[in-house]
Amino acid sequence: MKTRASLTVTLTHMNADHQDYPDIGAASPDHYGAALWLATGGRSRHAHRGRVTALLAAEKQGKISFDGLMTATRGNRVVASIWCLIQPGKIGSVWGPGILSEESDSTADLLVRKAIQFGKQHGCHLLQSLVGQENPTAGKLLVRSGFQSITLLSHLEALTEDVHAEPPRGDLQFQRCDDFQSEAFRSLIAQTYDNSLDCPELDGLRDVEDVLDGYYATSGLSTDHWYTLEHGSETIGVVITAHHVEPQQLELIYFGLTPRFRRMGLGSEMIRFVLELAQSMGCRSTITGADQRNTPAMALYREFGFQQAEAKELYLLPLRLSNAAVA
């Protein structure tokens, strides 16, 4: 049985304009739809009806939790909302805040503080938010409470029917990952993160075990499509993908090389392997994400026919001091 944190706080102080603050608290089931619509950036009920309906269905099936869905209400009307979704790997994904145009930014401040409190209570080491054009004011509101804008992340897609990549070199072997929790695999991941150009601000904010737990969750609790790259007797890289049966996509979650084997054209061979894998599995497309500042990676993806489907700005708020871990 799910339990809901007792977060409801009624604020009755008056602001400078002598306007009462709204009631801030965990969203009631009656308000789930309106809260999700605002938090996910809905500008019209028609445009976001499908997204909200899918989220409501996922919650009923136990796939996601609304424990971190919070609202600001006036009477029975939702005037602002935010959603902190706790994910494997001690990370919280924040949606919103979404706020009605007539509502003060101070209302959003109260909600963001509640989301931060919720993340801390659930052991998160990091909060992140991806803000797109559907909710352009969310970034400004998050920054008011300590989040930092990091970079633009591109969501990229390559349609299988449009890609005609050659197979990877024959002297490279891609071996299935037997144990992602082994010391050897954790060490390999840590080496590939050394001097990474993808979101270096994440360095030291999360333990490698937490990173792998997040990858594992994204992969549907399966390592069927995780690989190490072998060259001769050496393990020199890793490729982590996930097969999403609907809508028939292969997601490239992460790939990387140990420092000594970079700038040798091996990144291209790894992309060739991924695209060949997608084709063999009958996937409609291959998707991935990249930090737009990582110009070598962006150029590599373009070379293989990846196109930008959308871009979102990444905001981060660390909830613990950095250490010697990897991103």
Q: Which of 241, 178, 182, 238 is nearest to 209 (CA)?
A: 182
How far is the C-alpha of 148 from the C-alpha of 137, rounded, in Å? 14
DSSP 7-36: --EE---B-TT--BPPEEEEPPGGGHHHHH
DSSP 160-226: GGG--PPPPPTTEEEEE-S-TTSHHHHHHHHHHHTT-SS-GGGTTTS-HHHHHHHHHHHTTS--TTE
Domain assignment of residue 290, given as a range: 157-311
Q: What is the dihedral of CA 187, 188, 192, 193, to 10 degrees?
A: -30
Residue 113 included in any domain: yes
Mean pLDDT of 83-110: 94
Least confident stretch, 3-7, 112-116, 212-216: 3-7
Q: How confident is the model at residue 19 (pLDDT cuts 50, 70, 90)?
A: low
Mean pLDDT of 154-169: 92
Q: How confident is the model at residue 206 (pLDDT cuts 50, 70, 90)?
A: confident
Q: Does the pLDDT at position 154 exceed 50?
A: yes
Same structural domain, 124 and 164: no
How far is the C-alpha of 146 from the C-alpha of 59, rounded, in Å? 29
Q: 49 in helix, strand or coil?
A: helix
Mean pLDDT of 65-79: 96
Q: Which of 148, 146, 85, 91 is nearest to 123 (CA)?
A: 91
Same structural domain, 117 and 222: no
Domain count along the chain: 2
Residue 132 included in any domain: yes
Mean pLDDT of 29-42: 92
Instruction: Tell me which of 205 and 19 has the higher pLDDT.
Output: 205
Least confident stretch, 36-45, 102-111, 249-258, 307-316: 36-45
- Specify the pLDDT at position 207: 85
- Specify the pLDDT at position 7: 42
Q: Does the pLDDT at position 14 exceed 80?
A: no
Which residue(s) pair with 313 in the sheet? 131, 152
Residue pair 263/193 in contact by the 8 Å Cβ criterion: no
Q: 327 in helix, strand or coil?
A: coil
CATH number of the domain bearing residue 242: 3.40.630.30
Residue 58 included in any domain: yes
Residue 316 included in any domain: no
Same structural domain, 161 and 142: no
Residue 4 included in any domain: no
Residue pair 111/72 in contact by the 8 Å Cβ criterion: yes
Whole-model pTM? 0.85
- Specify the pLDDT at position 321: 57
Same structural domain, 15 and 41: yes
Q: Does the pLDDT at position 72 exceed 80?
A: yes
